[in-house]
A and B are shown apart, each in its own frame.
Chain A
């Protein structure tokens, strides 16, 4: 399991009810279910991935987060997880609001466009950056709204969303982001992980 999922799992206490939005093949769901006794549900748009989840014995709903989150009642999950997908929505703000409505807390991870390798790629090669967390070409990437850790940090603050924890991840190194080190983390982390609440 990738390090990102381990960090997410560490943020969630045992026996909670969790919704994994864009749960893909259910790797994180399975880990949470087996190791933390989490009552876990998934929402996934790909039929193929939904089948993989069913084969793992996971409860998953085939659906689109932009349309299908509205069927869940307010605060019906302890945590809602959204891993590296926010930037792929047509309307990320709407999805973020839905996550915070459905979940008592939300865990959102974003691939950081402010990461130094991304900046260097664009600066020196002059072409759209391709990195470990941004593996696709400009013409086939699902990403529509890339942002940096700094962008997301400012955005969340401006919307009166409470940040409980913000973590920067660079390979295996996990560190805390705060107002004073924001510039540095924005340069050296390829992934931001935020535990938020509204």
Chain B
């Protein structure tokens, strides 16, 4: 896996003071772009990725050789039409696809591991803000993302209220719930319980805490799907066998599927990054930053919001998305909202859900026409 040559990076010279109190500088942000910036520079869309995403939004990811994570939504003639818009996406700091993270070296040339500073969603967007200068974009046309990407969207517009015309948080929350934190903790415990984790000081690929990371991924993957979706896809179907084997191999297709999801994840993701990014999500509570009044987070922006949730998403349910709508309405902000019917759970925003994709496309294209 040759990562270096396919990854574009911006070295941020300016010091960035993190929420944990530490300051970082001269750090890399890995990014990718799609489409082209027009002469008016008014067609840029900043996309924020979710927990396990990266900057390779669409097309073939050159590092993993798999389809980009938002290939259904982003590309020529798609909902986020790269014939029309200039799409920028960067790997979050704390991540493992080239941006500054725990698998980088500290000034003494030692791999950070858990000596990397704890990162927040606020730190992530403050780091990514440097991309606007880099591309000479004064104001973005839109910012969007699902799940943790949606949290970054909310934080970004709160921090930089006049830097985007439209704002599209998808399947997200303004504050990580106890249930969200519980699931993340389960994943972290799986990683740290793996004897290869060694307090985060694993180095070579042979001795990484792959088993723990795979279990973390399996548990998380269940939360991305709905009960109905799982039942329809797998039910009690058996995996390449006629009958139960009375053992602990994967008898059921769902077991085999989860094991596969766990194993492929380990090949592309760093266990320490998983700890850092889930921590950032757990610490996210936008209302708390404004003394418990979420509306205050958006009081200075004139941006046009469009919030989207999914009926079967129980990880970031409709009500949590609606709470954002309510906070915006209470200050008279321009906000639209739709709940999309889908059996595909939280993952709906990543999948081929036509009602979702058409709503996203229509909102963007009509808003751009009004520009």
Contact = CB atoms under 8 A, between A and B. Distances in A.
Nearest to B295: A73
Say whether chain A's binding surface is mostly helix, strand, loop, or mixed.
Answer: mixed
Contact of B370 (A54, A57, A62): A57
Given A51-B355, A71-B326, A59 B334 contact: yes
B341 A47 contact: yes
Interface in B316-360: 325-326, 329-332, 334-341, 355, 358-359
A55 B325 CA distance: 20
B40 interface: no
Contact of B358 (A51, A58, A59, A76): A51
Interface in A46-83: 47, 50-51, 54-63, 71-73, 76
B332 A54 contact: no
Contact of B367 (A50, A57, A72): A57
A60 B336 CA distance: 5
B240 to A, nearest CB: 40
Contacts of A47: 338-341, 355
Contacts of A62: 337-339
Contacts, number: 56
A51 B338 contact: yes
Q: Which range contains the number of A residues in contact with the other chain?
A: 10 to 19
Contacts of B363: 54
B338 A71 contact: no
B108 interface: no
Contacts of A57: 362, 366-367, 369-370
B265 to A, nearest CB: 34
B362 A55 contact: yes
B304 interface: yes
A80 to B, nearest CB: 13
Contacts of B329: 61, 71-73
Given A47-B338, A72-B329, 6 more contacts: A41-B334, A47-B355, A51-B362, A54-B306, A55-B366, A61-B335
Interface of B: 304, 306, 325-326, 329-332, 334-341, 355, 358-359, 362-363, 366-367, 369-370
